[in-house]
Amino acid sequence: MSIAIVSAGKGEIVSAGPIRIRILEDGGRTQHRLGVVEVTIPPHVDGPPQHIHHEHEETFYVVSGNPTFTCGTDTITGELGTLVTAPIGARHTFGNPGDIPAIMLCTVTPDLYIDYFRELDALSTGQTGLDPHAVAAVMARYATELFKPAP
């Protein structure tokens, strides 16, 4: 077995609406234990609605910009070097209210969510972005549900 290298600017590029995702490790070389992506959020872009993963954990390491991370009603602004961990069952989302792109290095453990990004990329984007119902259907296939606060 040998090491794998993804050079700067290389890797599979997909998108989730305006968010760009560069797949660095899709799990094919880690026996599906780990996926790694670089996420670029343009300025003034909200991320996905708050959601809960039931079968994988995520980490978000801020490389540049100041993305926000929300869990319930709590929101923090990340800065260079911030690490956010979303374990199984934690409601969360992220976005970029700032004026410069936010870039994060993210892990997905196990790697099952990498194909979620590929499926989002395959969805058609209308004038208002991705269809929320289509996104929710894709989320459901990957053991993810939208968080609905109590009335």
Domain 12-146: top CATH class: mainly beta
Q: Tens digit of pLDDT per residue, the chain (151 long)?
A: 789 999 998 999 999 989 999 999 999 999 999 999 999 999 999 988 899 999 999 999 999 999 999 999 999 999 999 999 999 999 999 999 999 999 999 999 999 899 999 999 998 777 777 888 888 899 999 999 988 766 6
Query: Minimal CA–CA distance to 77: which of 98, 91, 58?
Result: 98
pLDDT of residue 96: 98
Annotated domain spans of the chain? 12-146
Measured between alpha carbons, how far is 12 from 25 in angstroms, rounded to an integer?
9
